[in-house]
Chains A and B, each alone.
Chain A
C-alpha cells in the first residue's frame, strides 16, 4: 500500500511542491477578457510575426516557458524537466518548443486537461525527489486547432450555440522543491468517462461527466467537502457544461454553487461572441497561471481545486462516428 495514496485515485504530496513562478501569454481576443491585467503578455495579432500559425503557437509556448523560468528567478540549466503538451497532432508545439530550449523533455497529451496532467506528473517527480525544479507548460491556438479539428477559417459556416472558442495562448508553471506558497498538495487523476455524447461541437456536455466523476472521487478520497475550498474551478466546460456539472453534483449531494467557476466561462466576456465559452489547453492554463496564481500570491484565494477537463477525440474518431471519451484531473493548490 502506497503511503502517499488516498482512496482509489488521489495522492497527497508529502513535500508539496511549490509553484515558484508562472507565465501566461494570450492572443488579442483573450486580451480583451476580464483577466487582461493578469497575463504576462498579450499578443497584438495571432501570427506573432511568424510565417505560420503553428510556428506562432510554438513561439508563444517557448516564450511562456522562458518567462516562467525568469519569473521563478531561475535559468534554463536549473530546470530538470520540461513536461509539456498541446492539441496539435504529435504535439508539435511542445516538441518544437523543446527543440529550442535544451531542457529534458517529457511530452504529454491530455487534450485540454494537459496542464493538470503535467502538474500532477511534475509534482510526483518533485515530491519524489527526482527533480528540484521543473516546468509544466501547455499551449493552444485558435487558428491551428480550428484547421485541425473543424473548418477552414474563411468557410462561411455558422457555429453551433454549444460550440466553444479555442483559446490562443500558452501557460507555464515552475514547480520546485523550495518551501514557499502556493503549493500543489493533492492530485486526483481521473478515469476516462464517456457518456455517449458524439457532437464535437458540444464538448462541454461531453466533458461534464468526467469532471463530476473526478470531483466526487476527490471528495470521497480525501474526506474533504466543498467547504474546504475557496474556489472550485473547472477547465473548459463552458456555459452548458458548467450548468450540467453544478446541477448533477447538487443531485449527488455536493453543493458547490457559491464557489464554483469555469475557466472557459470566465476567460471571455459573453459579448465576445464565443458561444458557450473558451476551450483548449491554454484555457485553464492561462487562467490558472495568470489570475488564480496571482490571486493566491495576494492571499485572495488560499485553497483552490482546479479540475481541468479534456476531450480525447480526434477528427478520425469523430468521422468514424465514435462518441467522445473525456478525462478530468483535479489538483489542489493551497497556501500552507
Chain B
C-alpha cells in the first residue's frame, strides 16, 4: 500500500514538473530550484507534512522533499537551540543527502566518462 501511494504521489509531483517544462521555457535547472524552494515554503506553512504522511517516499524523494527536509531540520533546531538553530538545522537534517551527492557524484565523475551520442 505504501508503495502504491508513493508511486501516485511521486508521479503527480513529477507531472507538475513536466507541465512546467513543456508549457514554459524553464530548463531542468530552473525546475529543480523551483521545486526545492516550493518544498521549503509548503513545509514552512505546514502543507507538506500531510503530503509526506500520505505519500511517504513519494513526497520525500522528489526535490520538494529536500526543501521540506531542510525546513523540518531548521524548525527542530530552532525549538532546541533558538536562533542558532536557524543556521544549523537545515544542513544537519540534509547532511546525509548532501554528503552522498558530493561523494558519489565525485566518485562517479572520476570513474566514468560521458558516452558520445
B is a partner of A = yes
- Contacting chain A: which of B5-13, B46-54, B79-87, B109-117? B109-117
A155 touches B28 (CB 8 A): yes
The CA of A73 and the CA of B66, in the complex, are separated in Å by 65
Closest to B116 in A: A46
Is A154 an interface position by the 8 A CB rule? Answer: yes
**Secondary structure of the A contact surface, majority rule:** loop
Number of chain B residues whose Cβ lies closer than 8 Å to a Cβ of chain A = 8
Which residues of A sit under 8 angstroms from B99, Cβ to Cβ?
A: none
Contact among A153, A157, A199 for B115, CB-based, below 8 A: A153
Which residues of A sit under 8 angstroms from B117, Cβ to Cβ?
A: 29, 46, 142-143, 153
The CA of A142 and the CA of B117, in the complex, are separated in Å by 8
Number of chain A residues whose Cβ lies closer than 8 Å to a Cβ of chain B = 16
Is A295 an interface position by the 8 A CB rule? Answer: no
Contact among A46, A152, A158 for B21, CB-based, below 8 A: A158
* Interchain Cβ contacts within 8 Å, total number: 26
Is A244 an interface position by the 8 A CB rule? Answer: no
Contact among A45, A151, A155, A199 for B116, CB-based, below 8 A: A45
Chain A's nearest CB lies how many Å from the CB of B22? 9
- Chain A 19-34 interface mask (CB, 8 Å, partner B; 1/0): 0000000000100000
Is A47 an interface position by the 8 A CB rule? Answer: yes
- Chain B 89-117 interface mask (CB, 8 Å, partner A; 1/0): 00000000000000000000000001111
Contact among B21, B27, B116 for A47, CB-based, below 8 A: B116
Which residues of B sit under 8 angstroms from A151, Cβ to Cβ?
A: 27-28
- Chain B 11-46 interface mask (CB, 8 Å, partner A; 1/0): 000000000010001011000000000000000000
The CA of A307 and the CA of B93, in the complex, are separated in Å by 59
Which residues of A sit under 8 angstroms from B27, Cβ to Cβ?
A: 151, 157
Contact among B21, B25, B115 for A154, CB-based, below 8 A: B115
The CA of A87 and the CA of B68, in the complex, are separated in Å by 43
Which residues of B sit under 8 angstroms from A143, Cβ to Cβ?
A: 114, 116-117
Chain A residues proximal to chain B, CB less than 8 Å: 29, 45-47, 53, 142-143, 151-158, 199
Chain B residues proximal to chain A, CB less than 8 Å: 21, 25, 27-28, 114-117
A sample of 11 cross-chain residue pairs with beta-carbon separation below 8 angstroms, ordered by A number, consists of A45-B116, A46-B116, A142-B116, A142-B117, A143-B114, A143-B117, A153-B116, A153-B117, A154-B114, A157-B28, A199-B25
